Amino acid sequence: MTNKLKYFIGNWKMFGNLASLKNISQIHRFINANKKIKKSSKIILCVPNTLIYFYTNSMRLKSISIGGQNFNKNENHGPFTGSINASMLKDVGANYVILGHSENRFEGESNKVIKKKIESALKQNLKVIFCIGESLKEKSKKKTLSVIKKQIKESLSKTFNLNNIIIAYEPVWSIGSGKIPKEKDLRKTFKYIKKEFKKIFKKKYDPVVLYGGSVNTSNISNFSSISEINGFLIGGASQSAKKFIDIIKNYYK
Ligand code: PGA
């Protein structure tokens, strides 16, 4: 993973069908027509599992990487109705996976389970987009930094290949709400994440850290001046190719 690129990652969540694959072609056309953006950005779309094989089998566009959004904590195959594991995701051609998203944490996913999943993803050579972030209650109690530290400490291990992990800071209160953190808070949090990461893992390594939560075509310009932000995890707005493209365009304006 490199900090020389800006990451624009779409999280389609439980949206999208075969017809939505045309959105991917549209984004691809835009990227290829814009040399400067193509050179400086990395585009990853985390789509529903149902679309991954079709994409990798019949589209496979060079400028776009594809990922999943979660998988079962069990590394081996087994009687887990409705689930897939990391190897099944890799098998259909995914290269990335989102893990630790707050929507999954709401359903009971603990830091311990997330750690197991990250381990299993890395074993399969899947790159991980690891989500962290505080709830509104934690924010109001001024616990943002301690919550983040705990999530990093309990979900990552010094033995993991940190090069294959992208961190996405997504304040839970910001996801889908239209609210974004103040610039000064963001600067402070991003500096803290990068510093803690080095401290915990005793490495000079500068992690790729993204912002996620209500990123849209108009607020994206607020983030451009914050150099610590290495990119964005975009939920709702990524379901529209036009909005996703406009976010990228406006970022570089
Ligand atoms: P949002 O979602 O952009 O719709 O707020 C972000 C996310 O859940 O990753």
Question: So what's the pLDDT on residue 13?
Answer: 98
- Ligand 1 mean position, distance from CA 215 (Å): 7
Establish whether residue 240 lines the binding site of ligand 1, counting it when its CB lies within 6 angstroms of any ligand atom.
no
Angle 32-96-35 (CA atoms, 0-180°, nearest 5)?
15
What's the Rg (C-alpha) of the chain? Answer: 17
Establish whether residue 175 lines the binding site of ligand 1, counting it when its CB lies within 6 angstroms of any ligand atom.
yes
Active-site residue, 77 included: no
Which position among 103, 109, 134, 170 bears the catalytic label? 170
Question: So what's the pLDDT on residue 2?
Answer: 78
Q: Candidates 8, 9, 11, 167: which one to mutate for ligand 1, based on the most atoms within 8 Å of Cβ?
A: 11
The whole-number mean pLDDT for each consecutive block of 10 residues of the chain, a chain of 253 residues, reads 91 97 96 96 98 92 95 96 98 97 97 98 98 98 97 94 95 98 96 91 86 98 94 98 98 94
Establish whether residue 178 lines the binding site of ligand 1, counting it when its CB lies within 6 angstroms of any ligand atom.
no
Active-site residue, 101 included: yes
Sign of the CA dihedral with 87 first, then 93, 95, and 100 last: negative
Question: So what's the pLDDT on residue 169?
Answer: 98
Question: So what's the pLDDT on residue 133?
Answer: 98
Place of tokens 């150099």: 227
Rounded distance between C-alpha atoms, residue 175 and residue 20, angstroms:
22
Nearest to 86 by CA among 139, 59, 123, 32: 123
Question: So what's the pLDDT on residue 3?
Answer: 82
Establish whether residue 233 lines the binding site of ligand 1, counting it when its CB lies within 6 angstroms of any ligand atom.
yes
Rounded distance between C-alpha atoms, residue 141 and residue 123, angstroms:
37
Establish whether residue 247 lines the binding site of ligand 1, counting it when its CB lies within 6 angstroms of any ligand atom.
no
Question: So what's the pLDDT on residue 252?
Answer: 95
Rounded distance between C-alpha atoms, residue 63 and residue 180, angstroms:
29
| % helix, strand, coil for the chain, step of 5 | 45, 15, 40
